[in-house]
Amino acid sequence: MNIVVVGTGYVGLVAGACLAKIGHQATCVDIDEEKIKNLKEGKIPIYEPGLSEVVKKEVASKRLSFSTSLKDVLDQAEVVFVAVGTPMRRDGKADLQYVEAVAKEIGQNIKDYKVIVNKSTVPVGTGKEVTDIIAKYYKGSFDVVSNPEFLREGSAVEDFMKPDRIVIGAGSNKARDVMLEVYEPLDYKKITVSIESAEMIKYASNAFLATKISFINEVANICDIVDADVEDVARGMGLDNRIGPKFLKAGIGYGGSCFPKDVNALNQIAGTSGYDFKLLKAVIEVNIKQRLLVIDKLEELLDQIKDQPICVLGLAFKANTDDIRESAAVDIIRTLTGLGANISTYDPEAAEQAKEIMNGGVKFFDDPYEATKDAKALVVATEWPEFKKLDYKKVASLMANPKILIDGRNILEPEEMRKLGFKYVGVGRGKL
């Protein structure tokens, strides 16, 4: 099939490349001329394992191409995926201006039947809104479909190619059949529902996973009080197949482009619908509070933060990505610099992105050992495998007393670290 994907961010670029990989003719469209120029030259704007190889291979096969003009490529398209950003507004709602702009452009230029696919994460009711915008300009036949993405940054290509499920929200049998044809090469579970149900599935899924994270973080905080180890608790819980082990990893909270935005958006949807989603409000509150625990522990162990040399390992919101959106590490660094600390930091992929948004008081290093030199406290803020493999005996020799180690992702062994001379503090690993 001939498919156009509007937007070349995490979702759009992965979708376009993978749709080409499964045999379709895919064209990715973006108004950013520099980005499209770079993509045509094989330069990928994001760090995502495996994506560069897929893009280069599919461009070489001529199944994947790029354009800055939706109008120029719309006629040839049978299906148009809308994968533009829906950032969170100040009030917590999803900002739909980019989705609406694409819908208007489609309406002004469409000439025959097409399936328009909302791939962006959008509130319930957006499918109808997009339909109304297109219909304002085009009186012919078309369908709008909701096809939410469930991609994890760091494993997005694999998630697209081997999905847990493919959700298709369609208002007509014709649109449903077209979408089943799009995904026919992927022999995985496909469910067809109403557009509104598909839109809700996305928000509900992410909100539930965020709830699991906030729940285990609350359990971790109790573990610190009663001298239990949350890693053991989570392992015992996860063996119950009704619960499962995923997203029961205690730490300094969730971040990224999806969870914070989607949880807040669902809370707003509930509010505007007249429903008080108390559980979701608690999930949000716990996540904010969890980041501040690192500050509290540092203040307790250092007596004061001002002028203290502190190293933060990790800037990305999670491992295997360079995305710093809603990153707990970034929030912690901003709080520490606001309190007058002298921050050194290292991240294998996200440093350049962080430099663009950081003010003074932060020194960036290309080597993790250099970053830890002379620091009195070390905060592990991102679960990069590299950080687990560091020579912590060497790290201890480079640091200054009191050699505080805040393991914000619980990737290190407490007793091993203490034997090396660290004042080790994990999240829910028991009393000091």
The residues carrying an active-site annotation are 258
Distance, CA of 419 to CA of 402 (rounded, Å): 14
Radius of gyration, alpha carbons of the chain? 23
Distance, CA of 229 to CA of 428 (rounded, Å): 6
What is the four-CA torsion angle of 287, 376, 390, 367, rounded to 10 degrees? 100
Place of tokens 């999930």: 283
Distance, CA of 303 to CA of 366 (rounded, Å): 30
Task: Transcribe 67-91 into DSSP letters.
Answer: ES-HHHHHTT-SEEEE----PBPTT
Place of tokens 């992965």: 14
Sequence letter at residue 245: P
Assign 3-state DSSP to the chain and report helix, strand, coil percentages, each to 5.
Answer: 45, 15, 40
- Does residue 402 have a cis bond before it (omega within 30 degrees)? yes
Distance, CA of 331 to CA of 288 (rounded, Å): 10
Query: Three-state DSSP class for 113?
Result: coil
Residues whose CB falls within 8 Å of the CB of residue 240, separated by 6 or more in sequence, listed in order: none
Helix (H) or strand (E) holding 7: none
Residues whose CB falls within 8 Å of the CB of residue 377, separated by 6 or more in sequence, listed in order: 298, 301, 302, 308, 309, 310, 311, 402, 404, 405, 406
Whether 393 and 285 have beta carbons less than 8 Å apart is answered as no
Encoding tokens for residue 55?
């893009």
Distance, CA of 1 to CA of 333 (rounded, Å): 47
Phi-psi label, residue 27: left if phi above 0, alpha if psi -120 to 50, beta otherwise: beta
What is the four-CA torsion angle of 77, 82, 84, 89, rounded to 10 degrees? 150
